[in-house]
Chains A and B, each alone.
Chain A
């Protein structure tokens, strides 16, 4: 609460919404590293929020909820929805050509045999993603980061979590991973949750995830 008056004003204006784009971005970045500023913004958001609660309702257009569902974190999508999503990313994302090309590679070279599963591990469209394919017959998987880059001294590690079992490492994800063998039963492969954690460079030293997963998802079949 011992914030200087200028930062207190900045926090108030951030919550009110009167800052310009550059100032908003700067404050949003600073609040991640400055707990006092973050607390001041939260306090202002709480102070002003009764206004939002009192605002008249307005019915959103139909179809919004199904589009939300298609974007949920760790969502595993059928290929048609996946392609639509790629098109949306292509339209929405700066530097999207590389992204679309990377996804296109997976789609083009993996023409959905019956026991093929596709997972897109992602929280929201502007966050890093992983595209994963699992061939349940061959017990093989491939995974590639899509617009995801681990911090310099960290690695992304993929885990399989079979029902009521401890997470088992599937290895570190680098630029091109797979196909790799899956040493698990077919049923478990299909039922499992897949998760990605951020680990020290080269992977978890303990054989267990170091923290909560940053991405996770389950498989559903592609096609019939």
Chain B
């Protein structure tokens, strides 16, 4: 199901030239990944709508893809994720109440299908995430995977929103420092 980055880049180039067959192939190769991203942030009805909008945008903007800024899949996932976040913020605050006790979002990355594409970038990011305090790491991952807002995190971790903001920014600054070292 998961195509190599070079194949995806070639497909994107054809999509930029409005090649319908290439677009169809790109959808087949990437939609389960993108749906996996948006369906963790939104309910399924909204996720399906957002997935449609994301691919319409990918069709329109395929020419903007820049290999210097990450893999084709990362670029597409970012489009889908941003759209999902806009939708999540628009409709209602995200509740983390349905997360089971002891839920550790990092466990969601234990996907055998993903192991092939675990890049150096992924390894470096995980290594730096592991340096954060467990609670702070869990917050960053809940935000990334589940689209948790500051407010939702504040409820979940029983802390003022302002404190959560401070924690998030400090954690992200640490992450950036670690990744560039």
Residues of B within 8 A of A (CB-CB), count: 70
CB contact list, A50-99 vs B, under 8 A: 50-61, 64-65, 67-69, 71-73
- Interface flag for A24 (CB, 8 Å): yes
- Interface flag for B11 (CB, 8 Å): no
Residues of A within 8 A of B114 (CB): 53-56
CB atoms of B81 and A52 under 8 A apart: yes
- Interface flag for A210 (CB, 8 Å): no
- Interface flag for B159 (CB, 8 Å): no
- Which candidate, A11-19, A151-159, A195-203, is the interface stretch facing chain B? A11-19
- Interface flag for A188 (CB, 8 Å): no
- Interface flag for A149 (CB, 8 Å): no
- Interface flag for A177 (CB, 8 Å): no
- Interface flag for A174 (CB, 8 Å): no
Cα distance, A59 to B59, chains bound together (Å): 20
- Interface flag for B144 (CB, 8 Å): yes
- Interface flag for B97 (CB, 8 Å): no
Q: Which residue in B70, B108, B125, B140 is a CB contact (below 8 Å) of A55?
A: B108
Q: How big is chain A's contact interface, by range?
A: 35 or more
- Give the nearest-CB partner of B124 in chain A: A50
State how many angstroms separate the Cβ of A63 from the closest Cβ of chain B.
9
Residues of A within 8 A of B71 (CB): 49, 53
Extra inter-chain contacts (16) besides given A56-B111, A64-B48, CB under 8 Å: A9-B169, A9-B172, A12-B173, A17-B147, A18-B150, A45-B78, A46-B69, A49-B77, A51-B141, A53-B77, A54-B118, A55-B108, A55-B111, A58-B36, A65-B27, A67-B52
A interface list, Cβ under 8 A from B: 8-9, 12-13, 16-21, 24, 42, 44-61, 64-65, 67-69, 71-73, 123-125
